[in-house]
Amino acid sequence: MTAQIIDGKAFAARVRAKVASHVSRLKDDHGITPGLAVVLVGEDPASQVYVRSKGKMTTEVGMESFEHRLDADTSQEELLALVDRLNNDPTVHGILVQLPLPDHLNSELVINSIDPAKDVDGFHISNVGLLGTGQKSMVPCTPLGSLMMLRDHLGSLSGLEAVVIGRSNIVGKPMAQLLLGDSCTVTICHSRTKDLQEVVRRADIVVAAVGRPEMVPGSWIKPGATVIDVGINRVPNGEKTRLVGDCEFDSCAEVAGAITPVPGGVGPMTIACLLANTVTACCRANDLPEPEGLTA
């Protein structure tokens, strides 16, 4: 193996430490405690695990965590009323509605009812528009974490060829916007892209966000490229299962200059960036300087 492994777990711990030190300064100097409200509707086991771990990490960095667990049959009106209360609660600086929502609820409507200034997931249409026009916004956590790791590893990204595989609203598109913001030449690939490997082969930066286990082999990677593997795929492993990314780790690591592993790469950065966004939202709400290195 030749590639440097980008250790997302260690990087995320550094981001959380930075958040924690900013939180303690906000408390000591201004008497403000940043607060994150997480809303979970229903009993989806994976969502319950995420929400629990978000709550734990929120309190670990010294912020206030508000958990709202609602029954699966909660009506749209009840959910919108809760979001409205959180929008108007000055102790809440970030609001996250855990997706997916049960089928009878309109996710788009609910997300767009969150105050954009408290939209720490960065999914509100106003934040999407602000990011798309290069203005200050709340940035979706997974692409933000990926950008932080790229900047840390490469320094300036200016002029580099970046290929993003996947065009989802939560990863692919915002990732491409962020890379464009850092002056990369960006190509977005998707399920209809012709000759994907030819496009990937010219990339200095590859971000794979597809959800197809190990679809990118090392033979597609330009020697020395930086590979950010966002994919999280569970595959059979004897009697059990194991997690793999969208890139074939061993063969890509033979060719790439650096690569994020799965697990332990992009994954841990997502919650760290949620905490970073919450402290940023709190600073903006109070007209205080934003922490450096925690925004796009």
Mention every residue, 6+ apart, whose C-beta is less than 8 A from residue 120: 36, 94, 95, 96, 138, 141, 274, 277, 278, 281
Catalytic one among 18, 98, 229, 246? 98
Active site residue 54: yes
- Number of neighbours of residue 242 by Cβ within 10 angstroms: 12
Least CB distance from residue 79 to ligand NAD, whole Å?
A: 22
Least CB distance from residue 149 to ligand NAD, whole Å?
A: 11
* Closer CB to ligand NAD, 82 or 139, in the complex: 139
* Closer CB to ligand NAD, 225 or 266, in the complex: 266
* Closer CB to ligand NAD, 94 or 166, in the complex: 166
Binding site for ligand NAD (CB under 6 A): 142, 165-168, 170-172, 189-191, 193, 196, 209-212, 230-233, 266-267, 270
Active site residue 194: no
Least CB distance from residue 144 to ligand NAD, whole Å?
A: 11
Least CB distance from residue 164 to ligand NAD, whole Å?
A: 9
Active site residue 98: yes
Q: Residue 154: name the closest of 252, 220, 228 by CA.
A: 228
Catalytic one among 118, 119, 121, 246? 121
* Closer CB to ligand NAD, 273 or 282, in the complex: 273
* Closer CB to ligand NAD, 114 or 206, in the complex: 206
The residue type of 226 is T
Cis peptide bond prior to 263, omega within 30° of 0: yes
- Number of neighbours of residue 45 by Cβ within 10 angstroms: 7
Residue of closest CB approach to ligand NAD: 168
Rg (CA), the chain: 19
For tokens 């929502």, what's the residue? 101
Mention every residue, 6+ apart, whose C-beta is less than 8 A from residue 241: 234, 235
Least CB distance from residue 278 to ligand NAD, whole Å?
A: 17
Q: Determine the Cα–Cα distance for residues 267 and 85; give it in Å rounded to an integer.
A: 31
Catalytic one among 54, 118, 173, 222? 54
Q: Determine the Cα–Cα distance for residues 55 and 60; give it in Å rounded to an integer.
A: 9
How distant is the alpha carbon of residue 280 from its chain centre?
A: 15
User: Which residues are designated catalytic?
Assistant: 54, 98, 121
